[in-house]
Each structure stands twice: as structure tokens, then as C-alpha cells.
């Protein structure tokens, strides 16, 4: 519930509510009267996110709480899509280039800096809620930040810009920074990052569902095997022939069909279905800098933009085009890849790019495990 706690804290603090985190996974809030009235809660309110740990005067908050719906009143005050501008910082090119040399590591390619430009760079911050439904239900709110110019996603930046948001800085729409690329492309990248983070968050949840699925399938197989064995023994013991034998053999086949149907039902029951929903978005303008870098592998070249983040005092690394991990290789078609996505085929040991060949090896036609 950390995501829900952080989201509620951020929404309250950005609306001039005094919030303090307490031990035991609860927060205390002192609200202006008008905000307390609009949310239907007390001016001094404690929130707890675990019903088993709640005290008598706590308001228990879950993703299904009416409070989450009423928070839309506060979101409407700030706007579901707004923009803030952060103060500038002095950028030393030599420090930026030093960061580039340290953090841009390509194991099978070279690069050179073609240009360096200081400019205002826009980042999109998306708050997304996801719901994972299986035999159980999991929900969380995930915040994702995307650099519009480079499509990098510097997660550490969220902690740095947090104080600016909590200080209640008013949205600033007076400065219009043209988007470097269509918002649809930026949002698609946000959804890719979301899927990756959901996969990380739900790994234990999925393992638990798979264990329960295997246990239920074994129980079903044991149960129906007992029935089938009783039918086989009946046929053998009574030495059935003719129509009587056909009737029991039909029961045997029907039992096998019923087992298959029950197993499919269990697979459907424990399969994890995930839905996501955009809650709101914020555009953060940061005085920053961009490197225009030429990558080269063999004789092929490609230009990319790499951002220098003055808030983090380092460049934002190139991400793997296969899985979004940190990129450190180039394939012959110049896709940026991590080690897992630039690998040898287990069948013929041909070096493969997971972006170029997501399904099968072009040489031996062997099926490629996604590994993702």
C-alpha cells in the first residue's frame, strides 16, 4: 500500500494540507475546513492503510474507498493535466561530459559527441492505477516519469521534484514548451515502463497463484484418477463385454473430458488479468541539456539524444529497446540492447537481437524464449 500512501500524501500536501507520516503505516493530516468538508472527513484526521492495524479513530483507506473517488475534487483544483516550471541550475559542460563518459558504456560500439545544447526539457509525470485480478485482487498506484525529448525514465528524479510539488507550487501554463514528440508516443513509453514495474511488483503474487494452481490441478488429477481406476477395476472385475463394457468405457472418456474442463477452469481462475487507468498527469519543465551523440557499430551509424539531468547531476542512460533495462550493446541494425537481449542462440550460437528476432532464430529456426 506504499503507492496509495504516497499518492494520498502528495495530493493532500499539494493542496496545503499538513501531513505527517507515523509509525505503523499511518499518516496524520490537519486539513483546512473547506477541504475537510469536501472530502467528508474531520479537520484532524488519521489515515491507516491496513484494516487489521487500524485504530478506532483511523480512517481506513483502500483502493475501493469512497475517499479515493472524492479526491477527484482536489485533483480538479490542480487539474488532471497541469504544468510546473522548476528553477534553473548552472550546468557545467565539462561535468556533463564527464558523466557521459562514465555512464555511457557500449561494449561493442563507439560513440562521439556531435552537439551539446542547453535548453528547457519537458518531463511527463503520470500517476497510473493498476488492478490485478486473479483468485485474489491486487491494486496499486505507480508514478512514472518520462523525458519527452529522449523517452528515458529517470525514476530517481521523482524524489527530487517531490519537494517542489509538496510546497504547493502553482501550475504554470504561461510558458509553452513545444513537445519534442507526440504525447501518444510518450504515453506509450509510460505504459511500457508500467508493464515492467507491474511485472516486478506482481512476481511474488504470480508465483503464489501458480503454486495454488499446481496444487489444485494435482488434487483434481488425483480425484479423477481415482474415479477412472474404479471404472477400470469394474470392467476387469466383472469382465464386462458388449454394451455394458461400452457404457463404462464411455464413462471413462467422459471423466477424462471432465478433468480437462476442470483444469481449464482452474487455469482461467488463477490467470492474472491486469487493467490500468490514468489518474492524472503533470508536465515538469526543467532547465537542462541534451547531448546529440553519434553511435557507430562497424560502418553503421545512428544519432541519439541523451539528456543531462542537472537535478540528478548525471546523464540519463540509454535504455534497452527490448526490455528497458540499461543498454550496453548495439546490434547490426543499431538497436540499443542489454546483455539479456543481445545473446547467443542456444541452438546454433548465432548472436541475436531480441528486437530484430523476437520469436525464432533466422539461422536454425529455433524458438527463442522471450526471457522477459
- 277-308 pLDDT, tens per residue? 888 888 999 999 999 999 999 999 999 999 99
pLDDT at residue 226, rounded to an integer: 94
Q: How confident is the model at residue 328 (pLDDT cuts 50, 70, 90)?
A: very high
**Displacement of CA 325 from its chain's centroid (Å):** 13
pLDDT at 12: 84
Mean of all residue pLDDT scores within the chain:
88
Are 296 and 106 spatial neighbours (Cβ–Cβ below 8 Å)? Answer: no
Q: Residue 28: beta bridge partners?
A: 20, 46
| Least-confidence region, from 108-122, 228-242, 304-318 | 228-242
Task: Please list, in sequence order, all residues whose beta carbon lies within 8 angstroms of the beta carbon of residue 170, skipping any fewer than 6 positions away.
Answer: 84
- Please state, as a whole number, how many other Cβ atoms lie within 10 Å of the Cβ of residue 311: 19
Give the gyration radius of the chain's Cα atoms: 28
- Measured over the CA atoms of residue 322, residue 323, residue 324 and residue 325, the dihedral's sign is negative
Altogether, the residues listed in the chain come to a count of 372
Rounded to whole angstroms, the Cα distance separating 47 from 35 reads 15
pLDDT at 301: 96
* Partners of 274 in the β-ladder: 132
Q: How far is CA 352 from the centre of its chain?
A: 26
Q: What is the pLDDT of residues 156-206, one digit of tens each?
A: 999 888 777 665 455 555 567 778 888 899 999 999 999 999 999 898 888
Residue 78 has pLDDT above 60, yes or no: no
244 phi, psi to nearest 5 deg: -65, -40
Residue that has been written with the C-alpha cell 491494486 in this structure: 139
In the chain, what percentage of residues exceed pLDDT 70? 94
Amino acid at each position: 500500500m506504499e503507492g496509495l500512501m504516497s499518492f494520498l500524501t502528495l495530493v493532500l500536501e499539494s493542496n496545503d494540507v499538513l501531513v505527517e507520516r507515523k509509525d505503523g503505516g499511518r499518516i496524520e493530516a490537519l486539513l483546512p475546513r473547506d477541504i475537510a468538508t469536501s472530502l467528508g472527513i474531520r479537520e484532524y484526521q488519521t489515515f491507516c492503510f491496513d484494516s487489521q492495524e487500524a485504530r478506532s479513530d483511523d480512517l481506513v483507506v483502500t483502493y475501493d474507498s469512497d475517499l479515493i473517488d472524492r479526491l477527484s475534487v482536489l485533483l480538479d483544483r490542480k487539474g488532471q493535466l497541469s504544468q510546473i516550471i522548476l528553477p534553473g541550475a548552472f550546468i557545467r559542460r565539462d561535468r556533463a561530459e564527464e558523466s557521459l563518459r562514465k555512464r555511457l558504456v557500449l561494449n561493442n560500439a563507439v560513440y562521439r559527441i556531435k552537439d551539446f545544447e542547453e535548453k528547457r526539457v519537458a518531463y511527463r509525470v503520470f500517476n497510473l492505477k493498476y488492478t490485478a485480478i486473479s483468485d485474489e485482487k491486487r491494486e496499486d498506484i505507480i508514478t512514472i516519469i518520462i523525458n519527452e525529448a529522449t523517452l528515458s525514465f529517470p525514476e530517481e528524479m521523482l524524489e527530487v521534484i517531490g519537494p517542489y510539488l509538496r510546497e504547493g507550487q502553482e501550475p504554470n501554463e504561461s510558458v509553452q514548451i513545444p513537445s519534442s514528440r507526440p504525447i501518444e508516443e510518450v504515453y506509450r513509453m509510460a505504459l511500457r515502463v508500467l508493464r515492467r514495474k507491474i511485472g516486478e511488483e506482481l512476481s511474488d503474487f504470480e508465483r503464489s497463484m501458480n503454486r495454488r494452481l499446481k496444487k489444485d490441478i494435482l488434487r483434481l488429477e488425483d480425484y479423477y484418477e481415482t474415479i477412472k481406476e474404479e471404472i477400470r477395476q469394474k470392467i476387469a472385475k466383472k469382465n464386462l463385454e458388449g454394451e455394458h463394457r461400452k457404457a463404462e468405457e464411455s464413462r471413462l472418456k467422459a471423466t477424462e473430458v471432465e478433468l480437462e474442463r476442470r483444469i481449464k477452469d482452474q487455469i482461467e481462475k488463477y490467470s492474472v488479468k491486469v487493467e490500468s487507468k490514468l489518474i492524472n498527469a503533470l508536465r515538469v519543465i526543467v532547465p537542462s541539456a541534451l547531448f546529440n551523440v553519434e553511435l557507430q557499430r562497424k560502418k553503421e551509424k545512428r544519432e541519439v539524444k541523451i539528456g543531462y539531468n542537472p537535478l540528478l547531476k548525471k546523464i540519463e542512460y540509454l535504455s534497452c529497446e527490448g526490455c528497458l533495462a540499461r543498454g550496453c550493446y548495439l546490434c547490426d541494425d543499431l538497436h540499443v540492447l542489454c546483455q539479456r537481449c543481445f545473446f547467443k542462440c542456444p541452438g546454433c550460437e548465432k548472436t541475436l537481437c531480441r528486437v530484430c528476432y523476437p520469436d525464432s532464430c533466422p539461422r536454425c529456426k529455433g524458438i527463442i524464449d522471450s526471457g522477459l
